[in-house]
Structure 1
Amino acid sequence: MAFLMGPRQVGKTTLASSVVESSSSNFYFNWDRTDHRLLFIEGPEAIARQAGLMELRKDKPILIFDEIHKFNRWKLFLKGFFDSYEKLTKVIVTGSARLNIYKKIGDSLMGRYFYYRIHPLSVAEIISPQLIDGEIRLPKEIKTADWEALLEHGGFPEPFLQRSKEFSRRLQSTRKDQLLREDIREGTRIQELAQLEVLTELLRYQAAQAMDYQSLAKKVGVAVDTIRRWLEVLKSFYFCFSLQPWSKNISRSLIKEPKLYLWDWALIEDIGQRHENFIASHLLKAVHFWTDRGLGEYGLHYLRTKEKLEVDFLVTREGKPWFLVEVKSKAKALSPALYHFQEATQAAHAFQVAFDLPYVDRNCFEEKGPILVPAKTFLSQLV
């Protein structure tokens, strides 16, 4: 089985539906449809019968189970279905938070699935959606209109394609209501939704900063432990994500304070914070994709010492530093921190990525020492 995990409206269902439409032998089942829900409740045999799995076929049909995580017995259903019909079909399961949580508690399905994390659109994907064999692409310039739309409206497909401020605001409002009043209310025991909504608004201004739990707790009017618990819920529902500091071989490094970013960078008003979140989202998409595809084990961190010497991002490969990234809205002299941390980590590359520099048709990963690179060039070489 393949699990497609990611936030609402990121394109999971569209991706799965395109698989169904590729052949009349494939089938799509959605928990939100009453007739499909009755089949799920009846059990694996009912789904198999509806899909005609006992009929002789040239190729295995592909079955898509959408929103099945809303079924309170979905884990038992999947295990039973897989064990009974593994040789007769292939299965794609789509979902958001609970599939992510399930990764931590799902030993009953261990060995029965691969998971793939679906992210918003990125620079490289917009330029060329075709896959490559390795990790790093050759650079290619993105159209100016696409670049500006991606920065302003975010990478969720609908607002990116519509390119309307009014549409983007309406969709952001709808997504927030669905998150709070459907996903979280139905999927957790949190009752204080009004205070949780205040927290989501505060996080729009907290993005790209180290977490200050005490300050957030005071502003929201709850205990620090409650803030920590709510943030984990928001992360599990793909509202935000956090990065941990890298401390190996770093003298006097911070070891506990995470930095927080939003999945939808269009929610962030401050341009500097939005730029950093934009890069963070692209890097997270890259490390997730490389890992999920089986190219290796990749990680994303930041670097900071107690003396406040900092570099925004460190990408690791097989547990070892690979490249450093410092983000600047405007081109400036290279940060001394890049030199310091490249020497300390022995990372192969150190980039200072600037948003105001024009595209340069040059592979920046050919450079070893700290170097100033255009954001358009750097991001075009990722995923």
Structure 2
Amino acid sequence: MLAGPRQCGKTTFAREIAAKDFADVIYFNWDIAKDKARLIADPVFFSKQPRSAAASRPLVILDEIHKYRDWKNYLKGIYDEFAGQYEFLVTGSGRLEYSRKVGDSLAGRFLKFHIFPLTLAELSGRRRTVKDFLERPLEEFDAAPAGGETAEAFRELWELGGFPEPFSKGRKTFWSTWSQAYGQQIVRDDLLSVADLRNLDKVETLFALIPSKVASPVSINNLAQDLQVSFDTAKNWLLLFDSFYLTFRISPWSRRISRSLLKEKKTYLFNLPVIDNEAARFENLVALELLRAIETWNDSGQGNFSLHYVRNKEKQEVDFLLARKNQPFLLVEAKTSSDSPSASLLAFQSVLNVPAVQLVARDGIKKLYKNGNNDTLVVTAHSWLSALP
């Protein structure tokens, strides 16, 4: 299973895999009317396709199949019957966990991978091994001065985001047109395909509010009151946004943190440039880079990693905490300009006893501080992020 936001390159990637490794390929897309009709008429239509004499098994690509009401049972059935005869690649712009009816479990029948919009690490081509990063998270990054190889990539992502089409066009005017159509298509088409949304105008209003909520703990109670809907309704709409990769949320870290927040999550967007506030957009950019890394490490079997933030009731906060096997191993703070470690970063570092890095939007920053037995690196963001494995 290959999951990720709409228009981030899943279908292109799937077809590249098909062209490289398979002689026989059957492509299906639920969004194409004739494909949908073919599957409904004959659920095992692919088994009727002629095959070449190649030794490899045919590849069946099922694109956007999660929009089919009974998709989990369907996949379970064809896998159990045809796993020895065909390879299956399922791609979708939903998280492939969401459906109206859960149906039979697919446990043990699939491997799941994520694909993301472009990030600094991918654009720079300078990735380290995960093992090396975990051992030395404050070392081996691009230490070039202002104008180094990753600076231009950072500026382009800042202005255009990482979705391939607007990024490759290189024009803010194109991104603006693309972005409006993109959000409307997902809310009005994709979400409606899996959920009964009777207040579509309020769903769109909620999504329009998200850019102003980025980088802050979000109170579902407050959102529900603003929209005049129930708590559960607002909560379910936010889950839908997550499910279709419009947003992602990170949970607060509470272990060993006195008076920590326990419930309110922070919300971020995949379409970065819709955020007007520069500090929030910068934090969102960092969040996307860290999420891509965490998900890639998990997908490739490197371990059990998770992304969090740290905040207590005194409103001391560190933007990100990276954990491995439910143990913290790195703190990350995002600051647009300050080249001195924040007081909250140093305080939580002393409690958690882990390395820390403060990422700064300004070029030419590289400073190393001691905080007790731990090191704290303050560095230009694109220099450090571009080396994430």
* Identity percentage of aligned residues: 36
Counterpart position of 2:27: 28
- The 8 Å contact of residues 254 and 261 in structure 2, kept in 1 or not, is answered as yes
Give 2:340's aligned amino acid: A
- Show CA shifts across 1:58-98 (max 9, x none): 22232211111222232222112111221222111001226
- Show CA shifts across 1:115-140 (max 9, x none): 11221111010111878564639434
- The 8 Å contact of residues 242 and 258 in structure 1, kept in 2 or not, is answered as yes
Counterpart position of 1:69: 66
Secondary structure, aligned partner of 1:331:
coil
- Show CA shifts across 1:178-204 (max 9, x none): 112101122101111111111111111
Give 1:32's aligned amino acid: D
**TM-score (normalised: structure 1):** 0.90
Pairwise CA distance, 1:302: 0.5
Secondary structure, aligned partner of 1:101:
coil
Pairwise CA distance, 1:337: 1.7
- Show CA shifts across 1:234-268 (max 9, x none): 11111111111111011111111211111211110
Structure 1 residues 17 and 131: alpha-carbon distance in aligned structure 2, compared to 1, 3 A threshold: farther
Q: Distance in 1 between matches of 2:185 and 2:275?
A: 19
Give 2:78's aligned amino acid: F
Q: Distance in 2 between matches of 1:218 and 1:80?
A: 44
Query: Structure 2 unaligned runs (5+)?
Result: 143-147
Secondary structure, aligned partner of 1:340:
helix
Counterpart position of 2:358: 352
- The 8 Å contact of residues 204 and 268 in structure 1, kept in 2 or not, is answered as yes
Query: Structure 1 unaligned runs (5+)?
Result: none
Counterpart position of 2:48: 49
1:278 corresponds to 2:285: yes
- The 8 Å contact of residues 127 and 388 in structure 2, kept in 1 or not, is answered as no
Counterpart position of 2:7: 9
Counterpart position of 1:94: 91
- The 8 Å contact of residues 366 and 378 in structure 2, kept in 1 or not, is answered as no
Q: Distance in 2 between matches of 1:51 and 1:73?
A: 27
Secondary structure, aligned partner of 1:353:
strand
1:118 corresponds to 2:115: yes
- Show CA shifts across 1:275-307 (max 9, x none): 001001111111111011110000111111111
Bigger shift: 257-266 or 129-138? 129-138
Pairwise CA distance, 1:105: 4.2
Counterpart position of 1:165: 172
Corresponding pairs, count: 374
- The 8 Å contact of residues 150 and 382 in structure 2, kept in 1 or not, is answered as no
Q: Distance in 2 between matches of 1:60 and 1:131?
A: 34
Bigger shift: 333-342 or 25-34? 25-34
Counterpart position of 1:287: 294
- The 8 Å contact of residues 358 and 376 in structure 1, kept in 2 or not, is answered as no
- The 8 Å contact of residues 150 and 383 in structure 2, kept in 1 or not, is answered as no
Give 1:119's aligned amino acid: F
